[in-house]
């Protein structure tokens, strides 16, 4: 998993629904984390030469109980993997929370409106299993809006796709947990912090690109991490500081985006850092994990503070020429210690890393929908 080599038999997928014609919204940079989509207009500001509505940070707010949630029933969505399907979980209140920004109201997701706006377009999620989590969430949210709409669903590694045939909209998933290359060399599998070559051509010419990477940078052990050596410049090493490695790898990704993405066609997002809840002392319950948690944390700040990788993401994005919208889901997700599969994910362990579907990733997609509705 995570290798960026794409075999010839996958190439036919690349021609699915390659149509054109939907309106394109202007690109907007949100490197300063001022999330402005969905605001009930309060003036205009100029940023990097682009006008945008100001006054709303989508990602600063709190969770409120909302009986109109969830968006869909897991039993009615054919796209959910067992690891995200928490159908056997006895408590259901965790499904009934909506995210409320402090200074505005975000639009409720409308799958049919999404399909109409992006008719004939291609959306690609690129990253690890958190990208899979969000991709399946969006698939379910759209499907619940148009349950009778015909679709084509192809799930393979590294490239999967879901096409809503009537609308010509295709949601792609490209699995590559590090974004940069892992190659087979004489010494073994090498994580190359300075190259993005294998498979990256399939990322080009999309209408929406949403990237994600972080969790695998924390994996230790050659079986878990998926590589034997790191190539850092001219050096071949067994290991290095993982935050430093992430910074170098993400910088390589940023250079690839700046050199290869056609900004007149493609809107680029970075998913932000999705947190885990294995260490209860972060929210003042030292002996607890996500297991047994039944409600979100109150308020708008996380007692354990920020995730170090989040500052790396913000810094790298700030140095890019290409406008990249940071879908800054870290803090709002930190507050959801209750939303993980825990022991109900079907793998026999305790999963405090991924998220139940329906659940938190639906909010990520609602925020994506708000950003795209600007």
Extended strands (E) in 262-316: 267-270
Quickly tell me which residue has 């190439």 as its tokens: 11
Centroid of chain to Cα 265: 20
The active-site residue out of 128, 340, 354, 362 is 354
Assess whether 328 carries a catalytic annotation: no
Q: Cβ contacts of residue 346 below 8 Å, gap of 6+? A: 82, 83, 85
Question: CA Rg, the chain, in Å?
Answer: 20
- The pair of three-digit structure tokens given for residue 53, joined into one six-digit string: 């509505």
Q: Give the bridge partners for 65, in sequence order.
A: 97
C-alpha distances in angstroms, 182 versus 189, 198, 370? Answer: 6, 9, 35
Assess whether 215 carries a catalytic annotation: no
CA-based nearest residue to 294, from 344, 234, 368, 230: 344
Assess whether 234 carries a catalytic annotation: no
The active-site residue out of 277, 351, 353, 362 is 351
The active-site residue out of 29, 98, 129, 353 is 129
Count Cβ atoms within 10 A of the Cβ of residue 250 and give its class: 0-12 exposed, 13-18 middle, 19 or more buried.
buried
Relative to beta strand 122-127, strand 208-211 is parallel
- On whether the CB atoms of residues 129 and 82 are closer than 8 A, the answer is no
Distance, CA of 241 to CA of 335 (rounded, Å):
28
Q: How many CB atoms lie within 10 A of CB 335?
A: 23
Q: Which residues are catalytic?
A: 129, 351, 354
């Amino acid at each position: 998993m995570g290798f960026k080599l794409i075999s010839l038999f996958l190439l036919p997928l690349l021609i699915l629904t390659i149509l054109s014609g939907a309106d394109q919204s202007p690109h907007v940079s949100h490197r300063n984390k001022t999330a402005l989509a969905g605001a009930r207009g309060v003036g205009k500001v100029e940023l990097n030469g682009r006008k945008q509505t100001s006054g709303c940070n989508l990602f600063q707010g709190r969770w409120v109980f909302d009986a109109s949630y969830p968006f869909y029933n897991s039993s009615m969505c054919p796209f959910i993997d067992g690891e995200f399907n928490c159908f056997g979980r006895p408590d259901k209140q965790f499904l009934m929370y909506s995210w409320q920004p402090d200074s505005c109201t975000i639009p409720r997701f409308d799958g049919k409106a999404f399909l109409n706006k992006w008719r004939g377009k291609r959306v690609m999620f690129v990253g690890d299993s958190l990208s899979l989590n969000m991709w399946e969430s969006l698939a379910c949210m759209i499907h619940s809006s148009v349950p009778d709409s015909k679709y084509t669903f192809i799930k393979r590694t590294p490239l999967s796709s879901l096409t809503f045939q009537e609308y010509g909209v295709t949601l792609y998933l490209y699995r590559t947990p590090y974004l940069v290359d892992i190659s087979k060399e004489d010494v073994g599998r090498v994580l190359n912090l300075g190259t993005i070559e294998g498979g990256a051509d399939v990322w080009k010419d999309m209408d929406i690109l949403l990237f994600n990477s972080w969790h695998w940078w924390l994996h230790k052990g050659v079986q878990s991490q998926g590589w034997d050596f790191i190539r850092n410049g001219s050096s071949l090493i067994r290991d290095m500081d993982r935050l430093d490695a992430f910074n170098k790898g993400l910088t390589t990704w940023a250079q690839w985006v700046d050199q290869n993405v056609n900004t007149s066609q493609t809107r680029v997002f970075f998913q932000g850092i999705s947190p885990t809840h294995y260490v209860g002392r972060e929210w003042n319950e030292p002996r607890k994990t996500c297991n047994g948690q039944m409600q979100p944390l109150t308020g708008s700040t996380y007692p354990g503070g920020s995730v170090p990788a989040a500052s790396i993401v913000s810094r790298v994005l700030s140095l890019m020429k290409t406008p990249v919208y940071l879908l800054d889901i870290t803090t709002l997700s930190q507050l959801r210690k209750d939303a993980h599969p825990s022991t109900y994910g079907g793998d026999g362990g305790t999963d405090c890393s991924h998220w139940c579907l329906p659940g938190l990733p639906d909010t990520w997609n609602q925020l994506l929908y708000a950003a795209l509705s600007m």
